[in-house]
Amino acid sequence: MKNRTPLMSGSRWLARWEMLAPRERRLVRLAGLLVLAALTVQLALLPPWRVLARAPAQQASLDAALMRMQGMQSQAKTLQAMAVMDAPTQRRAIEGLLKPLGSSVDLTVQGDRLTIQLRSVPAAALTQLLQTAPKLARAQVLEARLRINAAKAWDGALVFQLSSP
């Protein structure tokens, strides 16, 4: 019994190649070229092609992120440029915001915190207060206990933290 190895030696491959007819050799060469072309496409061309296909969406996403960061940078510069307000000035600014609401609000000051009690405040006025107070008075909302009443207005309390200079 002959001792066979899984792979034939080089001389055996050459002998087998010589035994093939010229037509069979061309077909084997063609099959080899097709396999080589398929591997080249699969390994060398498709990965960069996929990257190029995703590039426009990625570029749009990065542009949007850049726009958001530039907006935040602008906002940060604006806040840094604002004059530092002391607590009495902040309190007066919030009192000025509350004047149009009249008797539907009560303001209580406890140290560096302002508590505003709301009674039947319209939604538009509450929205204006929540948007304007942090910007104008540089006060942060610490707590908001709000509920809508039967008249479709807002009742509850807002607690603001005044920033220290």
pLDDT digits (tens, 9 = 90+) for 36-81: 999 999 999 999 999 999 999 999 999 999 999 999 999 888 877 7
The more confident residue out of 26 and 81 is 26
Q: What angle do CA 30, 33, 37 make, to 5 degrees?
A: 140
CA distance 23 to 59: 52
CATH architecture designation of domain 87-162: 2-Layer Sandwich (3.30)
CA end-to-end span of the chain: 98
Domain edges within the chain: 10-80, 87-162
What percent of the chain lies above the pLDDT cut of 90? 52
